[in-house]
Amino acid sequence: MTDTIFSKIIKHEIISDIIYQDNLVTAFRDTSPCAPIHILIVPNLLIPTLNDVVDDHEVILGRMIILASKIAKDEGIAEDGYRLIINCNKNGRQEVYHLHLHLIGGCLLGPMSVYRDVK
């Protein structure tokens, strides 16, 4: 598998606002935020999509969720609420093929998009 932009951030080859990193996951601020708080949490192991997750990834995925909750508290958005999103493949609007969890909050978020018969 080839490196992604996230792989390069994990290895500190690209400068990013990393707010957490351990041997399993890295969290950093999104450079194009869609809310006042927009943090990406990624596994350090390159897993292209959610469809590529296997049983061996359970600890990594658990760490991502637990870290999201901790960061939400640290960022002061836990009480008012936040959203966690994982996009998968083209129709899910995945842009970087390195599994990542969006932690979004800091304002009243709009409704989730609904299906519209788009041609």
How do the pLDDT tens digits run along the chain, 119 residues long? 679 999 999 999 999 999 999 999 999 999 999 999 999 999 999 999 999 999 999 999 999 999 999 999 999 999 999 999 999 999 999 999 999 999 999 999 998 866 665 55
Domain that holds residue 18: 5-105
Q: Is residue 117 part of a domain?
A: no
Tell me what pLDDT residue 112 has: 81
Contact 42, 25 (CB under 8 A): yes
- The domain that holds 94 is classified in CATH as 3.30.428.10
12, 57, 100, 102: which one is catalytic? 100
Tell me what pLDDT residue 117 has: 59
Q: How many domains does the chain have?
A: 1
- Residues facing residue 104 across a β-bridge: 38, 83
Tell me what pLDDT residue 26 has: 98
User: Which residues does 62 contact at the CB level (< 8 Å), separation at least 6?
Assistant: none
The answer to whether the predicted template modeling score (pTM) of the entire model surpasses 0.75 is: yes
100 a catalytic residue? yes
